Amino acid sequence: MASLTLRNIHKSFGKTAVLSAIDLDVADGEFAVIVGPSGCGKSTLLRTIAGLEEIDKGTITIGETDVSRLSPSERGIAMVFQSYALYPHMTVYDNMSFGMKIAGASAAEIEQAVRVAADTLGLTALLDRKPKELSGGQRQRTAIGRAIVRRPRIFLFDEPLSNLDASLRVKMRHEIARLHETLGTTMIYVTHDQVEAMTLADRIVVLRDGCIEQTGSPHELYKYPDNRFVAGFIGSPAMNFLAGFVVDSRQDATTVRLNSGTTIQVNAVAGELSRDTPVTLGIRPEHLATGGDHNLVEAEIKLVEPLGSHSYVYLDTTDAEDLLIFRASGDFGFAKGDKLTMCLAADSCYLFGKDGRELRRKPPGNC
């Protein structure tokens, strides 16, 4: 096992900057998940760690070793790809053992390593099969097994579950979590899937346009986003945003006037904000409620998505930048065209300044 340290990493393709001034520390044994929109540099960052892409500037340290200019084979890493990258003419056993054979390991060492990995991943009965005889999940487990037998210092995963159907992704997600708990090896995992990030990560790294926006535990990023981008990216469905202006700002609360003229009180400790300062108010779908006697917004239902245990209700209001999303109970009894009065909980509202930075809130009180 080993820690990973990235310092001032820059990477460009031609004149296009893909990674800019990346600084990141991943502790020994930590499970770090890198998320961000398409094209933000997630996979490129992973490939630079692996040595599959050369960095233009900066240093990559694994443990105590500067590996910035070392070849992939010298870095002590193993990478699991989205496409599995299995040899179609080889059996599961041969695919898993191929890297060890190339490295000159003895037959006894190979047999021991493959059997242990196969037992861990539930592949023992499949060792004589070829990839075409396997399901998608079995192929992915084979690719993971091939990485395990190399006993790497760091595992790298590049969207390994994106080719699987929904139910299989859930099962494989559980298996990867169990694998990390069993092996205790440092893992760095790239995904676009919110659920994977929130359930697997010890720490999430949010990337945008080649720069790190914020790092922290899933709880920290969800509850205390540094800026509007992180607030809107972490969470599914996304946070609701409503544009407005400051009416009054005190040390313990800020009053915001929305486009409709409605005023909302937010429990924020942002300091003094001058009157008419433009701000964006944010609130998550689960923090909206029907009725109430303050912080009210009038809306019309445009769509109801019943999901069994709960429903997502999409609401049209002049105050929201897009349709307002409300998480309702599974037996929600309203329909398209109905009018609702929504209450925004003061303790659960966020405020973002013109620069997108989140204006610090008071610690939530009892509701």
Domains of the chain: 4-231 (3.40.50.300), 237-359 (2.40.50.140)
Cis amide leading into 237 (omega within 30): yes
The residue count for the chain: 367
Q: Of the candidates 200, 210, 162, which has an alpha carbon nearest to the alpha carbon of residue 40?
A: 210
Q: What gap in Å lies between CA 167 and CA 174, rounded to an integer?
A: 11
Tell me the torsion sign for CA atoms 216, 221, 226, 231.
Answer: positive
pLDDT for position 367: 29
pTM: 0.89
**Would you say 161 and 169 are in contact if contact means Cβ atoms under 8 Å apart?**
yes
Q: For the chain, 367 residues long, give each residue's pLDDT as a single digit of tens.
A: 799 999 999 999 999 999 999 999 999 999 999 999 999 999 999 999 999 999 999 999 999 999 999 999 899 999 988 887 889 999 999 999 998 888 888 999 999 999 999 988 889 999 999 999 998 888 988 998 998 898 899 999 998 888 888 888 888 898 889 889 988 999 999 998 888 999 999 999 999 999 999 999 999 999 999 999 999 999 989 999 999 998 887 777 888 999 888 999 888 765 667 788 899 999 999 999 998 788 899 999 999 999 999 999 999 998 888 999 999 998 888 899 999 999 998 889 999 988 899 987 654 433 2
Residue 135 φ/ψ, nearest 5 degrees: -75, 170
